[in-house]
């Protein structure tokens, strides 16, 4: 990190926006969770944690992962809707004030059942209904991330409900990943995503949530996104150093 990078950062107005702070806080949570799981749980697997215990911990984190994601996207919907309600007005056939408060956003959207999120495909559909095109960051989520997160919802649903319906959906999801025999979700997520890689499946799914939030940052806060990636063609170590710096100076460090 050089002095000119830090000086440039201080002049970016987006840095102080509430939505950006929510975004970096959420991304920091994912990063912190990954460090915990892979250095303290998987690193001690077979020493302190049995395979069964590691699987149970991973399953518990499927619930937390979705909870954190839905917390984040709700916050971002409020941030985007409160500055322009014209699309929601059109959807409801009402003449709403163009700008509204957070509390009014909550009242409208909870009352209309818009926060019964099922997956990213559903989130994108909701975004089109209630957000103007220029204030809809969910359209920028990549297809790869959308597909991975949608599949992760089916894993979470089975962990949460253990119903016959959720099991049938889970089996269909497993087939996409060449998992033909039924195994528990934790065991599935602990398997390597590919025999040629060192990553386990949970890392790949977790990376999709991180990438989706990075897509949202690129859409809503392009100057902050540009500050991270600079002129790099791909996200690399230099980008990650700048991202780590943003986590360190964020006033909303995850607890």
pLDDT in tens, the chain (255 residues): 667 778 888 889 999 999 999 999 999 999 999 988 888 888 888 899 999 999 999 999 999 999 999 999 999 999 999 999 999 999 989 899 999 999 999 888 887 766 778 899 999 999 999 999 999 999 999 999 999 999 999 999 999 999 999 999 999 999 999 999 999 999 999 999 877 777 899 999 999 999 999 999 999 999 999 999 999 999 999 999 999 999 988 866 544
Q: Please calculate the CA angle 30-189-46 and round it to the nearest 5 degrees.
A: 95
Q: Which pTM does this prediction carry?
A: 0.93
Neighbours of 168 (CB within 10 A): 12
Phi, psi angles (nearest 5°) of residue 46:
90, -10
Instruction: For residues 171 and 8, give the distance between their C-alpha atoms in angstroms, rounded to a whole number.
Output: 50
pLDDT of residue 252: 60
Instruction: For residues 76 and 136, give the distance between their C-alpha atoms in angstroms, rounded to a whole number.
Output: 9
Half-sphere exposure of 127 (CA within 13 A, CB side): 23
Neighbours of 20 (CB within 10 A): 22
pLDDT of residue 2: 67
Phi, psi angles (nearest 5°) of residue 49:
-100, 135
Instruction: For residues 215 and 137, give the distance between their C-alpha atoms in angstroms, rounded to a whole number.
Output: 8
Buried b (16+ CB within 10 A) or exposed e, 84-123: bbebbeeeeeeeeeeebeeebbeebbeeeebeebebbeeb
Give the list of residues 6+ apart from residue 151 with CB closer than 8 angstroms, or none: 173, 176, 205
Instruction: For residues 218 and 23, give the distance between their C-alpha atoms in angstroms, rounded to a whole number.
Output: 11
CA-only gyration radius of the chain, Å:
20
Spell out the domain ranges in the chain: 3-249
pLDDT of residue 198: 78
């Amino acid at each position: 990190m050089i002095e000119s990078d830090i000086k440039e950062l201080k002049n970016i107005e987006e840095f102080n926006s509430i939505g950006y702070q929510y975004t970096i806080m959420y991304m920091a949570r994912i990063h912190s969770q990954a460090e915990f799981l892979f250095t303290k749980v998987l690193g001690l697997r077979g020493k302190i944690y049995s395979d069964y215990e590691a699987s149970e911990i991973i399953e518990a984190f499927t619930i937390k992962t979705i909870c954190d994601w839905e917390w984040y996207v709700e916050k971002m919907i409020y941030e985007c809707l409160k500055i322009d309600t014209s699309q929601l007005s059109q959807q409801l056939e009402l003449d709403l004030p163009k700008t509204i408060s957070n509390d009014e956003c909550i009242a409208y959207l909870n009352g209309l059942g818009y926060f019964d999120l099922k997956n990213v495909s559903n989130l994108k559909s909701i975004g089109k209904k209630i957000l103007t095109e220029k204030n809809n960051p969910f359209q920028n989520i990549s297809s790869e991330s959308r597909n991975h997160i949608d599949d992760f919802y089916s894993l979470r649903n089975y962990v949460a409900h253990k119903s016959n319906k959720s099991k049938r959906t889970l089996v269909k999801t497993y087939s996409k990943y060449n998992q033909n025999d039924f195994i528990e979700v934790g065991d599935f997520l602990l398997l390597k995503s590919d025999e040629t890689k060192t990553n386990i499946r949970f890392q790949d799914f977790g990376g999709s949530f991180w990438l989706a939030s990075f897509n949202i940052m690129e859409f809503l806060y392009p100057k902050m996104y540009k500050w991270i990636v600079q002129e790099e063609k791909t996200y690399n170590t230099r980008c990650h150093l700048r991202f780590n710096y943003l986590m360190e100076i964020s006033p909303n460090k995850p607890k």
